[in-house]
Amino acid sequence: MMELLQTLNTKQHDERRQGEAFSPNTVLETPFKKHFYIESYGCAMNFADSEVVAAILQSNGFGATKILEEADLVLVNTCSIREKAEATVRKRLTEFRKLKKANPGMLVGVLGCMAERLKEKFLQEEKLVDLVVGPDAYRTLPGLIQEAETGQKAVNVLLSREETYADIAPVRLNSNGVNAFVSIMRGCNNMCSFCVVPFTRGRERSRDANSIIEECVDLVNNGYKEVTLLGQNVDSYYWTASPNPSKGGIYEAPVTFAKLLERVALINPLLRVRFSTSHPKDITDEVLFTIAKYDNICNYIHLPVQSGSSRVLQMMNRTYTREWYIAKVNRIREIIPDCGLSTDMITGFCTETEEDHQQSLSLMEYCKYDLAYMYFYSERPGTLAARRFKDDVPEEVKKRRLQEMIDLYRGHSLASMQKDVGKTFNVLIEGASKKNADQLYGRNDQNKVVVFPKGTQKKGEYVFIKVSACTAGTLLGEVE
């Protein structure tokens, strides 16, 4: 879809945007004879999927290791959303191939969206890997590993209309013990012309609501204080139970996303609830009123707009106009006045003019986002845009427009932070600051990072912090 030029204001998001092996704190001390090592790239869904993969492997005799050289199985969970992401994975696989020469028994596999998109290319043309497994085929991993161990190349990239992995308890590889991802649905029915996700993750399907609640309850019982409900488009979550014999075969009332949010919030008032991602066309007043009703549902919405030009939005097949999006933002701020708002923006989409670009900047000026992910357009093979439109905006123009967008956003971000100076926030402590071991950090309700001096407080506790200063991306304060 797009290529990231610069990551901004993402202290709380970097770990979900970069390639990452699991935390050494989560390696299980078990007598496994074989071990796996996994790196994840891209969105939060990929990191959540890696935890499902870990559970499947663990139940089939593989233990986790954080030491690459010790692994019998090396897996890369990949992202196809940007060309840069794919290039990073290819480079990493080349490095693994060199390591494999010194460890002939080692198997290397590609998981996720890139595996689905490129299928046998890795096996036949590049010969970089032994296994290629798509997002809906992780249950078949044990059999594919056995097949690869015989010297054959193993591949399963079949998409499913039913698979949600609802019965698998994820192994929390990348967790700090405070926050956890909970996948509530898979796939996407929105055919945005720039996006490859519908082709790599398949059709949309919602997970059993009861299994979601059970997973969240288990997390609370194990000390977690925050969950993020994940889906390509969480607002379109819709689950209806199978006929219940005890109720005469009558279907239970359907569970919408608003009702699911409420059920999760009611598990425990000390459990913070977040969600991602919302599609502007689907987020409802019912969802907004539910957020406003419960203190433990965070006042923060990621609402990708992609462009401020109605003409470009139509080409992107986003199914809303600039005016419609602005009305939705107004509604959010009417119902949840202190709601944090973030977005995604693309510059240089096919045929984008200077006037279109100025409309994107003016939309950002109106919305004044607290956080924004900004990219210049990178054509992805197989998408509707690649088939229908010419990628005709020169790269230097894309980058110049992106820099103008970044410069505008920086001012908005700083102003948003400055408004919070002098205020007191309830902060959930997530751990020690990466820049200063004598400081702790956490996030407030609006998803802003707050850093403060370490005292007797511990990770996983709530603490009231009075903000005394800020940077463009971080609030600085003291325990009140």
- Give the tens place of pLDDT for each residue, 206-230: 999 999 999 999 999 999 999 999 9
| Closest-CA residue to 299 (of 413, 427, 446, 419) | 446
| 362 conformational bin, left if phi > 0, alpha if psi -120 to 50, beta if neither | alpha
The reported pLDDT for the residue numbered 104 is 84
Report the C-alpha gap between 308 and 458 in whole angstroms. Answer: 43
Tell me the average pLDDT of the chain.
90
Mean pLDDT of 63-77: 94
More confident residue, 332 or 249: 332
Please state, in angstroms and as integers, the Cα–Cα distance from residue 141 to each residue in 56, 67, 104, 122, following that order. 8, 21, 20, 17
Q: 144 pLDDT exceeds 70?
A: yes
Report the C-alpha gap between 293 and 290 in whole angstroms. Answer: 5
pLDDT band of residue 3 (cuts 50, 70, 90) is very low
Report the C-alpha gap between 25 and 221 in whole angstroms. Answer: 19
Q: Where in the chain is the domain with CATH 2.40.50.140?
A: 424-479
More confident residue, 113 or 352: 352
Q: What percent of the chain has pLDDT over 70?
A: 90
Beta bridge partners of 109: 75, 131
Mean pLDDT of 39-59: 93
The reported pLDDT for the residue numbered 231 is 95
Report the C-alpha gap between 354 and 8 in whole angstroms. Answer: 24
Burial-class residue 220 by CB neighbours within 10 Å (0-12, 13-18, 19+).
middle
Q: 54 pLDDT exceeds 70?
A: yes
Q: Which residues contact 245 (CB under 8 A, 6 or more apart)?
A: none
Report the C-alpha gap between 452 and 467 in whole angstroms. Answer: 9
Mean pLDDT of 366-377: 96
pLDDT band of residue 249 (cuts 50, 70, 90) is low
The reported pLDDT for the residue numbered 82 is 75
Q: Where in the chain is the domain with CATH 3.80.30.20?
A: 179-236+254-418
207: which DSSP letter? P
When mean pLDDT is compared across 134-143, 168-177, 464-473, the lowest value belongs to: 168-177
When mean pLDDT is compared across 190-194, 198-202, 221-225, 422-426, the lowest value belongs to: 198-202
Burial-class residue 343 by CB neighbours within 10 Å (0-12, 13-18, 19+).
buried
pLDDT band of residue 89 (cuts 50, 70, 90) is confident
Q: 254 pLDDT exceeds 50?
A: yes
Burial-class residue 464 by CB neighbours within 10 Å (0-12, 13-18, 19+).
exposed
Name the phi and psi angles at 427, rounded to 5: -115, 135
The reported pLDDT for the residue numbered 28 is 43
User: Could you tell me the pTM of the whole model?
Assistant: 0.89
Options 3.40.50.12160, 3.90.1300.10, 3.20.20.70, 3.30.43.10; CATH of 2-156: 3.40.50.12160
Q: Where in the chain is the domain with CATH 3.40.50.12160?
A: 2-156
Topology adopted by domain 179-236+254-418: pyruvate-formate lyase- activating enzyme (3.80.30)
Topology adopted by domain 424-479: OB fold (Dihydrolipoamide Acetyltransferase, E2P) (2.40.50)
Q: 294 pLDDT exceeds 70?
A: yes
The reported pLDDT for the residue numbered 247 is 52
